[in-house]
Amino acid sequence: MRVEVARYAGVCYGVERALKLAEEAAGSGRPVHTLGPLIHNPQAVQALRERGVEVAACLEEADDGTLVIRSHGVDPRIIAEARDKGLDVVDATCPHVSKAHEAAEAFRRDGYAVVIVGEAEHPEVEGILAHAGGEAVVVESAADLPERLPSRRVGVVVQTTQTLSRLDEVVAALLPRISELRVANTICSATAKRQQSAEELARSVDAMVVVGGRNSGNTKRLVEICRAVNPRVHHVETAEELEGGWFEGAGSVGVTAGASTPDEQISGVIDAIEAMG
């Protein structure tokens, strides 16, 4: 059984940067907390915990030391509150997410109603929403657009891990309804490359495995994209979840991984599949 790995798979620059910043903070000797999971990968978060980096569900749980802002970003008021508490703040917000913040702020400042294409309760979208202002609308698809928009002048930003097709769908639905539209395509290029290479590989193999956290939006989207072109797609977080029956009769198996999946997790899955062959 041949195992092929997608050309683009696994951790992106923003995740690598966040992990490096958290690891550096862990070496300071002071208490370190991340505000929520640093990245959407339970195994990586546990590895950080073993190095002394704890997860705080809210600001009140971090009384002293260093607070690391996770890669998804937060409401800027939270950073100000943390500094007021005397915490050292390390901002590990992904630079691509910061660009979405800047775009949302610019649209609001210029008098546009902001539409955010993304998952309503995802922490990245909550951060973008905080920069977009009180009248911003969050939609996962064109069907979620409200009957009445706050303005006929609309600016669109998009969660960095969304698909271009989802953005196009929302833009097409908005165009007949408004007088002026501005769009900031804030989809991360690393995400787009992973999605394209995953789809290409899924079309060419007998079965597909996607590696990454079940709480990871970009990983779940890779699963959706692969399943649209290949019925034998399986989502795992670790090699221990693999089942031999998944690959019965398969001559080739493709492997891809979300942008928050460390290389060692991908390697472990590849080795386990090869051992089954």
Domains of the chain: 2-10+189-276 (3.40.1010.20), 13-94 (3.40.50.11270), 96-183 (3.40.1010.20)
Selected catalytic residue, list 124, 126, 199, 237: 124
Could you count the other beta carbons within 10 Å of the beta carbon of residue 36?
18
- Decide: 276 and 247 in contact? Cβ < 8 Å: yes
For the chain (length 277 residues), average pLDDT per consecutive 10? 96 94 92 95 95 94 94 94 96 96 97 96 94 92 95 96 94 96 95 95 98 93 96 97 95 96 96 92
Measured between alpha carbons, how far is 269 from 43 in angstroms, rounded to an integer?
Answer: 14
| pLDDT value at residue 179 | 96
| pLDDT value at residue 133 | 87
**Could you tell me which of 217, 257, 221 has the C-alpha nearest to residue 238?**
257
| pLDDT value at residue 134 | 80
Residue ranges of alpha helices (H) inside 145-209 are 164-174, 189-204
Amino acid in the structure at residue 154: V
Amino acid in the structure at residue 188: C
Measured between alpha carbons, how far is 184 from 150 in angstroms, rounded to an integer?
Answer: 19
The residue written with tokens 């979208």 in the block is 125
For residue 124, indicate whether it is catalytic.
yes
Measured between alpha carbons, how far is 263 from 109 in angstroms, rounded to an integer?
Answer: 41
Distance spanning both ends of the chain, measured CA to CA: 5
Measured between alpha carbons, how far is 92 from 111 in angstroms, rounded to an integer?
Answer: 30
| pLDDT value at residue 69 | 96
DSSP state, residue 245: G
3-state secondary structure 204-222: HCCEEEEECCCCCHHHHHH
Measured between alpha carbons, how far is 44 from 265 in angstroms, rounded to an integer?
Answer: 9
Residue ranges of alpha helices (H) inside 85-155 are 95-109, 123-132
- Decide: 118 and 91 in contact? Cβ < 8 Å: no
